[in-house]
Amino acid sequence: MQWLANIGRSAIDTVGSFGRAFLMLMGAIIAKPQLIKNTPLTIKQIYVVGVQSLLIIVVSGLFIGMVMALQGYTILVGYGAEGSLGPMVALSLLRELGPVVTALLFAGRAGSALTAEIGLMKATEQLSSLEMMAVDPLRRVVAPRLWAGIISMPMLAIIFSAVGILGGHIVGVDWLGVDAGSYWSIMQSSVDWNKDVVNGIIKTVVFAFVITWIAIFKGYDAIPTSEGISKATTETVVFSSLAVLGLDFILTALMFGIE
Amino acid sequence: MENLLEIDNLTFSRSGRIIYDDISLRIVKGKTTAIMGPSGIGKTTMLRLMGGQLKPDSGDIRFKGESIQSMSRNRLFTVRRQMSMLFQSGALFTDMTVYDNIAFPLREHTKLSEAEIKTLVLLKLQAVGLRGAADLMPAELSGGMARRAALARAIALDPELIMYDEPFAGQDPISMGVLVKLIKALNDALQLTSVVVTHDVTEVLTIADYIYILAEKKVIGSGTPEQIKQSDSPLVQQFLKGHADGPVPFHYPADELELTFLGAK
Amino acid sequence: MSSRKVEIMVGLFVVLTIAAGLLIALKAVNQGMSSGTDTYTLYAKFDNIGGLKARSAVKVGGVTVGRVDSINLDSDGYTPVVALKISQQYNKFPETSSVSILTSGLLGEQYVGFQPGFSIDGIADLAEGDYISDTKSALVLEDLIGQFLFSKND
């Protein structure tokens, strides 16, 4: 019977934490919008989660674009179809790698930092002291970070894809000698704005929302000890990575699976 | 004498463990009330109950005659502007300078211009002797300075009630003296009502007007400092004199020593 | 961290994002056709469409004038019907035009080659919803090889 009780307890815990996460989200979104006060806070958080993630995004995007061009070229050249390198790089980046790799990097770079920051604010009584100053921490601390995450990550994903396409150009055209005209023109003829670019952006918005939500909730709900915060930070990265990969499959099936 | 805060028959338990059992307290307006007791009996919990961050299992906590636990969130936030709390860690916002920390409640709750805020902040910092440290980050302050900065923030909105959570814990004698002097001076100058939660006996006896001693989930003694000193309760005397063993036992409750070691169970 | 510096950096971030978005929009994505610009639809029946897919290009002399909108099977004769969305810019093709399914390169993608017919008096222009009667199906490699083998046997 013990194992049954264990399953039951963990189910109750899971449902309970979903409930708390939902309440936190509602509190942060519905918290009476004080745009004038909150905009500078959100901008500051965009700096923290967005601008400070820029370097890793640009470098990763460049390398991934370059590697894809290298790999793609060796495969395509066997069929004499190296002209299709452009669409291969662009489509993989816009549809899949841009949203997913950006999301994974974002979870590791910004998500873990958000969890640790909010967890430490809780541990050092900063959240309590906000409450005692009659300032709602959901509005003051949670909401700006949530919006900043949702705004920043799609921006990072767009930059990632663009840099990746340029990286593919560097390797494919400048090193391996694919014709520059065909790199761009065949790419243009196969990439569709609505189907590829917009769908990719929809994916990143969904990922951004999920990662930021998990990260903030894990910090907000962390046990305020050093052990609790380190556990929460790890869980943020693990849970949000799994959520991104799972959601990616579902979204891809919905967007591209039905033809 | 008017009571600012009244606690009646408060019972509170956390994760199945009873912390307070049927406690009643009175906080008199304009006076300094100390709540004392050994570590680990949940003195901080008492402050959180007073501030409405926790809800009691039963009993009533009234601020100016209005029951705190039955207030709506909005009403509670309005009432909290009249109280403030000095946390044990100071709880300064680590991402802002000392100046911005103290300006924070003013910016949140008033419509003062930046020039007026600057005057007020510098006045409060002057009162705690940290005007020169306005541009430092909290991480650059010593423990005592951080607590003084937090005190300046706590009085920024001129509250009626200040709750001090262990203000003297872990301070060197000089910082401790400074804090004692500050709390006294602020109370006299601003006519504040203060609640000090602490286990530092000597300091409290010099600043408190009235003292409650909590132990074993109950109020075990109360009165003015003079009355407390002359109390004939062995519990109170053990606490004041700091004896290792007595009515408050040295050992955490356990089986008999013989049983544990000889295994005769 | 002064808020001025933060604002400047966030501003740069936004500019960089817009630049990246423009690069994708202008250099990587096909212009027009997908949405917005006016199009009209023509239909063509083929015996065999080979590897033609929705969104394949429709070209006149190598110039893309439209795209394949959808491919369905005619319920009467079970022949594939291809709907072609042609840009309104090219709306003067005569009824005598013909279409064929061609392949770019040996293994490249398949597209619809559109040959405008002659136009003399009495021949109307193709309009929305018209069927193009003159069609040539895709070359299927297996059929070609089969024909080649049979002709050898003769």
Element housing C84 (H / E): strand C80-87
Q: Which residues of chain B does A37 touch, with a Cβ-Cβ cutoff of 8 Å? A: 108
C125 has a chain A CB within 8 A of its CB: no
Instruction: Return d(Cα B148, Cα B144) in angstroms, integer.
Output: 6
The residue of chain B nearest to residue A32, with distances taken between CA atoms, is B74
Whether A216 contacts A118, CB under 8 Å: yes
Cβ pair A133:B53 closer than 8 A: no
pLDDT in tens, A91-100: 999 999 999 9
Cβ pair B109:A134 closer than 8 A: yes
In a structure prediction context, what are the per-residue pLDDT tens digits for chain B, which is 265 residues long?
678 888 888 888 887 778 888 888 888 888 888 888 777 777 778 888 888 888 888 888 888 888 888 888 888 888 888 888 888 877 888 888 889 888 888 888 888 888 898 998 888 888 888 888 888 888 888 888 888 888 888 888 888 888 888 888 777 788 788 888 888 888 888 788 888 888 778 778 888 888 888 877 788 878 888 888 887 777 777 777 777 777 666 667 777 777 777 765 4
Instruction: Return d(Cα C46, Cα C81) in angstroms, integer.
Output: 7
Q: Enumerate neighbours of A (3 or more CB pairs within 8 A).
A: B, C
Widest Cα–Cα separation across chain B = 76
| Beta-bridge mates of residue B3 | B28
Q: Enumerate neighbours of C (3 or more CB pairs within 8 A).
A: A
pLDDT mean over C74-87: 86
Closest CA to B38 of B223, B193, B221: B221
Residue A1 pLDDT grade (very low, low, confident, very high; cuts 50, 70, 90): confident
Whether C112 contacts C84, CB under 8 Å: yes
More confident of the two residues C135 and A108: A108
Top mean pLDDT of A152-166, A243-257, B222-236 is at A152-166
Cβ pair B87:A128 closer than 8 A: yes
Give the gap in angstroms from C-alpha A151 to the nearest C-alpha of chain B: 22
- Spell out a b/e string for A118-131, using b for 16 or more CB atoms within 10 Å of the CB, else e: bbbbbbbbbbbbbb
Q: Which residues of chain C does A259 touch, with a Cβ-Cβ cutoff of 8 Å? A: 54
pLDDT mean over A150-161: 94
Residue C153 pLDDT grade (very low, low, confident, very high; cuts 50, 70, 90): low
Cβ pair A133:B88 closer than 8 A: no
Q: Which residues of chain B does A140 touch, with a Cβ-Cβ cutoff of 8 Å? A: 108
A80 has a chain C CB within 8 A of its CB: yes
Cβ pair C54:A190 closer than 8 A: no
The residue of chain C nearest to residue A193, with distances taken between CA atoms, is C29
Q: Where are the domains of chain B?
A: 3-82+159-262, 94-158
Element housing C114 (H / E): strand C110-115
Q: Which residues of chain C does A163 touch, with a Cβ-Cβ cutoff of 8 Å? A: 20
Q: If phi over 0 gives left and psi between -120 and 50 gives alpha, with beta otherwise, what is residue A143?
A: alpha
Q: Which residues of chain B does A49 touch, with a Cβ-Cβ cutoff of 8 Å? A: none
Is pLDDT above 60 for A210?
A: yes
Tell me which residue in A37, A121, A129 faces B85 most closely, judged by beta carbons. A129
The residue of chain C nearest to residue A194, with distances taken between CA atoms, is C34
Instruction: Return d(Cα B132, Cα A130) in angstroms, integer.
Output: 25
pLDDT value of position A35: 61
Instruction: Return d(Cα C105, Cα C107) in angstroms, integer.
Output: 6
C19 has a chain A CB within 8 A of its CB: yes
Whether B73 contacts B17, CB under 8 Å: no
- Spell out a b/e string for B206-223, using b for 16 or more CB atoms within 10 Å of the CB, else e: ebbebbbbbbebebbbbe
Enter the tokens of residue B49.
């109950």
Instruction: Return d(Cα C151, Cα C154) in angstroms, integer.
Output: 5
pLDDT value of position A111: 94
Mutation target for C interface from A56, A91, A95, A158: give the one with most C CBs within 10 A.
A158
Instruction: Give chain B's radius of gyration (CA, Å).
Output: 20
CATH number of B3-82+159-262: 3.40.50.300
- Measure the CA dihedral B178/B182/B185/B188, to 10°: -140
Tell me which residue in B84, B91, B105 faces A128 most closely, judged by beta carbons. B91
Cβ pair A187:C27 closer than 8 A: yes
Residues in chain B: 265
Cβ pair A134:B51 closer than 8 A: no
User: What is the CA A105 to chain-centroid distance, rounded?
Assistant: 7
SS3 for C97? coil
Tell me which residue in B78, B88, B108 faces A133 most closely, judged by beta carbons. B108
pLDDT value of position A152: 93
Closest CA to B33 of B224, B165, B171: B224
Sign of torsion, CA A72 A73 A77 A81?
positive
Q: Which residues of chain A does C36 touch, with a Cβ-Cβ cutoff of 8 Å? A: none
Q: Which residues of chain C does A79 touch, with a Cβ-Cβ cutoff of 8 Å? A: 107
Enter the tokens of residue C140.
């299927």
Instruction: Return d(Cα B163, Cα B180) in angstroms, integer.
Output: 14
Enter the tokens of residue B180.
């004692």
Q: Which residues of chain A does C17 touch, with a Cβ-Cβ cutoff of 8 Å? A: 155, 158-159
Cβ pair B89:A124 closer than 8 A: yes
- What amino acid is encoded at C12 in this protein? L
Q: Which residues of chain B does A114 touch, with a Cβ-Cβ cutoff of 8 Å? A: none
B28 has a chain A CB within 8 A of its CB: no
Tell me which residue in A43, A189, A195 faces C6 most closely, judged by beta carbons. A43
The residue of chain C nearest to residue A48, with distances taken between CA atoms, is C6
